[in-house]
Structure formats: structure tokens, C-alpha cells
Amino acid sequence: MVTRKRFKAAAAVSALLLAVSACSQGSTTKEPEAGGSQSAGPANIKIAYQQWGPGTVMKNFLAGVKTEYEAANPGSKVEILPIVASENDYYTKLQLMMRSPNTAPDVVYEDTFLINSDITAGYLRPLDDYIKGWDQWGQFEDTAKGAAKALDGKTYGVPDGTDTRALWYNKQLFAKAGLPADWQPKTWDDVLTAARAIKQKVPGVIPLNVYSGKPMGEASAMQGFEMLLYGTKDTLYNNDQQKWVVGSQGFKDSLNFIKTIYSEGLAPTPKQALDPNMGSKVGTELLPGGKLGIALDGSWIYGNWQKTGAKPWPQWSEVLGQTAMPTQDGGGKGKVSLSGGWTWAIPAKSKNPDAAWNLIKTLQTQKNAAKYATEGAQIAVRKDVASDAAYKSSAKSTQFFTDLVSVTVYRPAYAEYPKVSNEIITAMEAVMTGQSSPDEAAKNYDEAVEGIVSKDKTTTDSGGQ
């Protein structure tokens, strides 16, 4: 998801309780009533997705969709292909699968920030011919549709949810540290002050987790570094000039924040942080176990603690609080969030694209979308789901994270972004492990970006936010 103008403008509208997806293919076949499955003829369909840790919610959701689709399409078989891997390894394995018709799945779970790079590589099929006959597509807000639209103007995926990011904190640990239960940090210094208090008064716990380093992949770049950078006066990409930003003070300041928390022992040890399973451990061990004071993390994490989650924890809503990540000095909007999202897409080399589209519609009926948004802790992308009473009451944090949409920004998801992101992660790891100073790591980042996009596609002007 991107910091493109149209996304940023749309995101500023607080109405991103986004809109719809459901059911109808532009074909001569009769459409189903109420958005149900439509027969596309018997076919064997493979659907691939990332399984992170136990992956209980998505696993159960897809099993239900498989049963529903096969019942509505006699003779068809849906094969579910979980790719058990960290985020970056998932992207790599999925791209390898999509290269050949012999290994390409028919439906894939595609992170929106990869859409342009995967299109450039020829991995994805445009869905416009299907969508044009889909009467409910018009109910999507521009932000939701834009997330799946590439620079060529075509749409390559159907969004299934979005998210925001903020600070989760343990009220019980805060009480022991003499910190308020209703914590409202206004600056980075306020966050560091709280972390220092936890370290001093509550030994044996990690004061603050900010994802960093290569094993955590895009989680490090997006919900770690960029949650800092976009709280400064700088950005990654100047939309007006259509150039990548280098030489920014905000970039150095963000690396200095990383240096501070790791050098002062306010963060996990580098060994802990560089564990590829750190993301899963935060949600299933550290937060439920009272071993982490503050976590810079996503709106979805409470999905672990529901009855259907990997670590049921009925008390989580009483133990944990949520507060917005503040900007560096309290300036600008005072708080920052980033949004991402995933889509269901069809690989260019799918052998059964028509049946694949039919499966995507089954994934996105109102009933199924509501089930996944509720159990998967997603911010709904359908209006009818967003207004559903069960969804709105599914968690005490739902309204808090939805309200952050009014300040959220998006990654510059151009084809070069995955490579730029990798250089961000490299800079973070060099600083957190003490291999480079923030200034040295920032200089190396600038040189790497100039090599990736060419020097004439860079600027030292962030263009403001």
C-alpha cells in the first residue's frame, strides 16, 4: 500500500470503513443470488497463502471456503497450499512458484506493496475483465480499490482487509513501573521515558519492541522504521517530484532511535530480535506472558488471543492498552500510523483463471468477509461488514484502530520499493548490532538507493507531509 497522492488523499477521509466485495463474474453464466458461488465448471484450483506460526484463523477460514466452494461446484477440488515462512521468504517462494505454469497456484495471497514489482515480473493477471461485470465492485472506496491498482491503471487483486499500527502496552507492568494506565505519549522522548522506567523498575521483561533486522523482513521496514520516519518531517518518496528521498535528517533520526533502544537495553537483545519467529512470539508468548511492556505493532495482533486464535487469552482487553505512536516532537498531526493490506490475486500462469475468479468471489461473500474480518482482526473492506454489529463489537480495540485511518500513510509501492525496503532493513540491522553508526548506515542507504533507482530519480527534498 502506497504513499501515492490518491491513496493519501483518500486515507485522510475518515470514512475508510471501506467497502465491498462479493460476487459476480462478467460472463454469460447466470449470477448467483445474494452473492453466492457460481459454477465455472469442474476444476482443480490451488490457493497459496502465508502461514505464520500456527496460522489457525486463516487455516480454518480457507478450510470453510474450500468446503463451500466444492459443494457449490460439483467435481471441483480446492487444494490449499500453506507456505510456512517468514514474510520475505514467503514472497520469494511465492514468486518462484508463479514463474512456471507447472507450479503456479490459481489464487495467491498478495501483499499490496508487491503488486507493481510482481506485475513488472509478469507474475499477475489483470482482473478488469472480471470486475467490469461485478456490480458490487463500485461499493469499494477508492482507497481499497487503489491498493490493488497498479501504475498501469489495471486492477490485480481483490482486497480482503486493511490495518493500522500503534503502540500496545501492558497496564499491569505500567502500574509496577509507576506509569499511568491511560498512557498518551506525545513525543518519541515520552516513549523512551516509559521504556526506561520499565527497565529500571520491572526487571526481567523487555521494555519496548520495535521490529528490526533482516529476519523480520517487511515488518522491520514498515511497522518498525517507517512508523518512525513518517513521524518526522521526512518521507521515503517525494510524490510531487516522483523521486526517492535521500540524505534526510528524519532517516538519520529514525536510525538513532533504533540505536538508542538497542544500546540502552530497552529492546530485545539482537539475538532475540533477529529470530525469524519474533513476530509470532510477540503475539503468542511475550505479550500474553507479561514479558513485554510496549509493542509497536499492528491492529490485527489480538487475533492471536481470540477463541479461534493461536493463543486464546480472554483477559487481553483488560491487561493491554492501545495508544497512538506519537510523531517525533509532537508536531504535524501529533500521531502516525501506516496501513497495509493483502489481496487475493490470480497469477498470470494460472491454468484455471475463470475458476480462480469464482473462488475469489466465494472468499469475498458478505458472510465470509465478515467471518474473516472478525476472527482475523482485520479492518473491514466492505461497508456491509463494517456496519455489522458482530464486527463492531468483536474487540474493544476495533474502533481505536479504525480511527487511526484518519492519520495513516502508505508505503510507496512502486516496483523499486521491495529493493529500497531491503536497504532500510540492512541499515537498521547494521545499527542495532553496532556494526555501523546511524550516519554511516544512512550514507550506505543513500548510495544503495541511488544504485537501485538511478541518481536522477532521487532528491534531498522530502516535500513535507
- pLDDT averaged per 10 residues in sequence order, the chain, 465 residues: 36 33 32 41 90 79 96 96 86 94 96 87 95 78 75 89 94 98 98 98 97 94 96 94 96 98 97 93 97 96 88 96 98 94 94 95 90 86 81 84 86 89 97 97 98 97 75
Residues 111, 346: Cα–Cα separation, whole Å: 13
Task: Tell which residue, 248, 243, 241, 260, has the closest CA to residue 192.
Answer: 260
Cα separation of 450 and 432, whole Å? 24
Top-tier CATH class for 5-163+340-394: alpha beta
Q: Is the pTM of this model over 0.95?
A: no
Closest CA to 368 of 148, 60, 74, 106: 60
One-letter identity of residue 229: L
Rounded CA-CA distance 201/116 in Å is 48
Q: What is the pLDDT of residue 382?
A: 78
Please give the pLDDT value at position 12. 35
* 391: Cα separation from own chain's centroid: 20
Q: How many CB atoms lie within 10 A of CB 184?
A: 11
State residue 53's pLDDT score. Answer: 63
- Rounded Cα distance, 43 and 242, in Å: 44
DSSP string, 85-129: S-HHHHHHHHHHHHTSTTT--SEEEEEGGGHHHHHHTT-B---HH
Phi and psi at 355, nearest 5°, equal -65, -35
- CATH 3.40.190.10 location in the chain: 5-163+340-394, 165-338
CATH architecture, range 165-338: 3-Layer(aba) Sandwich (3.40)
Helices and strands: H and E segment counts in the chain: 21, 15
- Please give the Cα distance from 70 to 48 (Å, whole number): 17
Computed on alpha carbons and rounded to an integer, the radius of gyration of the chain in Å comes to: 22
Host H or E run for residue 49: strand 44-51
**Cell numbers found for residue 244:** 526517492
Amino acid at 360: I
